[in-house]
A = this chain, B = another copy of it.
C-alpha cells in the first residue's frame, strides 16, 4: 500500500503517520519526490485495507497495490475451477446450458418446456419459485409447491435444477429440492445470505448486481468461499446504464476480465441483460465466443401468458436454433457442452 502525502504536509503530520503505521504492525518506507512525498507500507495489505489511513491528517491519497479478494483470485488458485451440478461440469472447457421459464407456473407447462429444452441440448433446468418482483402487486412465485414441480420435472427429464434463494430462511427448503442455489442480482450484496449459502456445500450460481463492478462481484464470491463452499459459478446479466433500448447493458468483457483475475467459472444470461428476445441469440453466441462457461436463457412455450418476464423469453424453437449455433461455435473455441 502506498500513501501519497499532501504538498504541504508538516513534519508533525508525517511523524504521526509513521507512528500510526508502526502501531498497526507494519513497516514504513519514506521517499521524497520533487513534488510529493510518498510512504510505502510493507506488511499484510489485506489487514491494512480495513484501516482508515486516508483519514490521517496530511494524507492526499492511499493507493492499494493488491486486490482485496484472495480465495477467488488466480494468484491463490492458478487453475480454472470446475463446478459440478448433478453430472454437469461447468468450467475447464465444459459449458452449462441453463434453460427454462422465469417462474415455475405449473407442472404441465414446465414439463413441456423441459422436454423441449432438453431435446435441444440444455443440460440444467431453471425456474423460479421465490420471485423478487419490483412491484408488490406482481406474481411472487409458487413457493414450495413450485420447488416440488421443478424437482419432479428435472428428475423426469434427467436434468439437475437451479432456482433462486432470496432469503437465508429459504436455504433449508430450497436445499431440499434444488441442485444449485441461485443468488439473484438484487442479493449479490446480501451478506447474510452469502455467508449462509457459503456454509452449505451446494453449488451456487451468483449473479452480478446491477451496479456491481467485477471487483465487487469477486468480493461477494469471496464471502461464499471464505465459509468453505468452493462451488461458485458467476453470472454476468447486465448492469444499469443510460442506454434505454435494452433492459440492462450486457458487459461482455466481464467474461475475460473475470478469467484474468479469478479461477471461478462465469456464464452469461442474455435474457435479463437485454430483455429483448430479438437480441438474445446474438448475445448468447457472443458469450460462447468470448469464452463463457455457459449461458442462461429463459424459454417459455407461450410468452404472452407467462406470469413473469414473458416478453424476454425465447420460444422453444428459437432456443433449438440457438443451440445449433452454439454447438458449432463451441467447437471453434474448443469447448464442450456439459
Distance in Å: Cβ of A81 to nearest Cβ of chain B: 18
0 or 1 for each of A39-73: is its CB under 8 Å from B? (1 = yes): 01011111101101111110001010110110000
A18 contacts the other chain (CB 8 A): no
Q: Which of A109-117, A152-160, A172-180, A282-290 contacts B (4 or more CB under 8 A)?
A: A282-290
* CB of A279 closer than 8 Å to a CB of B: yes
Cβ-neighbour of A2 out of B2, B53, B135 (below 8 A):
B2
**Interface residue count for A (Cβ, 8 Å)?**
108
Listed residue (A44, A46, A56, A304) with the most chain B CB atoms within 10 angstroms of its CB? A304
In the complex, which residues 255-281 of chain A have their Cβ closer than 8 Å to any Cβ of chain B?
255-257, 260, 273-274, 276, 278-279
Question: Quick check: is A249 within 8 A (CB to CB) of the other chain?
Answer: yes
The one of B2, B169, B286 in contact with A289, judged by C-beta atoms closer than 8 angstroms, is B286
> When A35-B45, A46-B137, A289-B285 are in contact, do A213 and B244 touch as well, CB less than 8 Å?
yes
Q: How far is the CB of A268 from chain B (nearest CB, A)?
A: 10
Interface status of A181 (Cβ within 8 A of chain B): no
CB nearest neighbor in B for A300? B55
Select one of B135, B189, B329 contacting A68, CB under 8 A: B135
Contact B241 A239 (CB under 8 A): yes
A146 CB to closest chain B CB, in angstroms? 16
